Amino acid sequence: MHFSIQKNILQEAVSKVQKAVTGKSTMPILQGILIQAINGKLILLGSDKDLTIEATVDAEINTEGKIVVDSRLFGDLIRKLPNDNIEISTNENSTLTIKCLKSNATLVHMLADDYPAIPTIQEEKSITLPQNMLKNMIKSTIFATAHDETRPIFTGVLFEVKDNKVNLVAMDGYRVAIRTEGIDTNVELNNVIPGKTLSEVSKILEDSEEVINILFTTNHILFDLGKTKVISRLLEGEFIKYDSIIPKEYLLKTIARKDDLLNSIDRASLIGKEGKTNLVKLDIQEEKMIITSNSQLGMAREEININLQGDDLKIAFNSKYLMDILKIMDSEEVEMEFSTNVNPCIVKNKGKNNCTYLLLPVRMVE
């Protein structure tokens, strides 16, 4: 193998594929990046078996070949080289020589034949979405996935396409996040994507209308950005029927300025956090909501203006969960729908039907 490439092009490709090299696999070769010089292209690949990222870049290929090189050492070295042409070639003794101006490094490499096979994606179903739309949808739901593995399906996000809509849904037993956008397609989909995969995809997506092509097979998903591809296994098992969990009716509804609500809960939560309860109480009255929290360290009382349709209510929440929701909402005003202080609360952007958040209250001892 022998090729030349500009440093910044190589560095960008390396840092993309490095995101899939997590070190959580027990196979030492997965600490490496697979580098393939073939057909006038350089194809880099990083993987932890569940998630694989591939980047293809143009390079001047003198001799084709493929090797595996330690991800961290190779990545650090490329990053620190001057921004000039880099020449990389293999030697007979399983080493790789990297030359750039007067810099010269020789690294031991691993064999490409030992690298595990990457799942081949035989297209079964596919859809196309603008990158910025998908990025927003991921951000709006991923926080509600579970982080422990007791119910593995909750560590993923449901990717559902039906009735000309794409829905992303995450839940962890205490809350549900649903984000919806319109899509013009006949395809129907119902797959659960690991949260870790979507988190990495989100970092690669750009804030532009450029589209991304998403392909599904029975067990895998491929996010195809042309020069960058992300392949991930899908989670097995059935996602909860979220539709049946979301209450269709409510007894009272409040409209509040999102920042007022978020900042007030944030301050009140300082007291509860110190007391390790994380509890905030909402006292919903006509025209105002009083937010309180107390612990052995003291107490906080916040008051914000609201618009109330319906009767008064006192209800308590885990402040962190409520703030998680409010932090990622993007409208100036939020609507909250309640029934009783033991029924879930629904939070929505005011006047927009693109997201629905459900949060279970905490039972108050009074």
Q: Which is nearer to a second copy, 31 or 167 (CB)?
A: 31
Beta bridge partners of 349: 334
Note whether 257 binds a second copy by CB under 8 A: no
Q: Which is nearer to a second copy, 106 or 219 (CB)?
A: 106
Q: Which of 73, 240, 255, 360 binds a second copy (CB under 8 A)?
A: 73
Tokens describing residue 321:
């969960």
Q: 221, 231 in Cβ contact below 8 A?
A: yes
Tokens describing residue 287:
């025209």
Closest distance of CB 245 from a second copy, Å: 33
Cα distances (angstroms) measured from residue 256 to each of 226, 263, 304, 333, 335: 43, 12, 8, 6, 7
Closest distance of CB 317 from a second copy, Å: 18
Instruction: Give SS3 for 329.
Output: coil
Phi-psi region of 278 (alpha: psi -120 to 50; beta: other; left: phi over 0): left
Note whether 214 binds a second copy by CB under 8 A: no
Q: Which is nearer to a second copy, 20 or 323 (CB)?
A: 323
Residues 211 and 121: their CA atoms lie apart, in Å, by 19
Q: Which of 139, 267, 314, 350 binds a second copy (CB under 8 A)?
A: 267
Note whether 84 binds a second copy by CB under 8 A: no
Strands 165-171 and 175-182 turn out to be: antiparallel
Please identify, among the stretches 38-46, 80-88, 212-220, 351-359, the one whose residues bind a second copy according to the rule CB under 8 A: 80-88
Closest distance of CB 289 from a second copy, Å: 11
Residues 105 and 91: their CA atoms lie apart, in Å, by 12
Tokens describing residue 192:
């659960």
Note whether 103 binds a second copy by CB under 8 A: yes
Residues 321 and 311: their CA atoms lie apart, in Å, by 24
Note whether 108 binds a second copy by CB under 8 A: yes
Note whether 337 binds a second copy by CB under 8 A: no
Q: Which is nearer to a second copy, 18 or 264 (CB)?
A: 264
Tell me, rounded to whole angstroms, the distance of Cα 146 from its chain centroid: 12
Q: Which is nearer to a second copy, 85 or 340 (CB)?
A: 85
Q: 59, 41 in Cβ contact below 8 A?
A: yes
x/- binding map, residues 278-317, to a second copy, per CB under 8 A? Answer: ------------------xxxxxxxxx-------------
Q: Which is nearer to a second copy, 98 or 234 (CB)?
A: 98
4: Cβ contacts below 8 Å, ≥ 6 apart? 59, 60, 62, 85, 86, 87, 88
Tell me the chain's radius of gyration from C-alpha atoms: 25
Closest distance of CB 116 from a second copy, Å: 22
Q: Which is nearer to a second copy, 319 or 356 (CB)?
A: 319
Q: Which among 55, 100, 95, 102 has a CA at the least distance from the CA of 225? A: 55
Note whether 271 binds a second copy by CB under 8 A: yes
Closest distance of CB 35 from a second copy, Å: 15
Instruction: Give SS3 for 75.
Output: helix
Residue with tokens 């989670």: 235
Binding to a second copy (CB under 8 A) within 122-181 occurs at none
Closest distance of CB 323 from a second copy, Å: 12
Closest distance of CB 11 from a second copy, Å: 13
Tokens describing residue 295:
């612990």
Residue with tokens 């629905």: 356
Q: Which is nearer to a second copy, 83 or 190 (CB)?
A: 83
Q: Which is nearer to a second copy, 83 or 128 (CB)?
A: 83
Size of the site for a second copy (CB under 8 A): 32
Q: Which is nearer to a second copy, 90 or 356 (CB)?
A: 90
Query: Can you give the binding site for a second copy, defined by CB under 8 A?
Result: 70, 73, 76-77, 80-82, 95-96, 102-108, 263-264, 266-267, 270-271, 274, 296-304
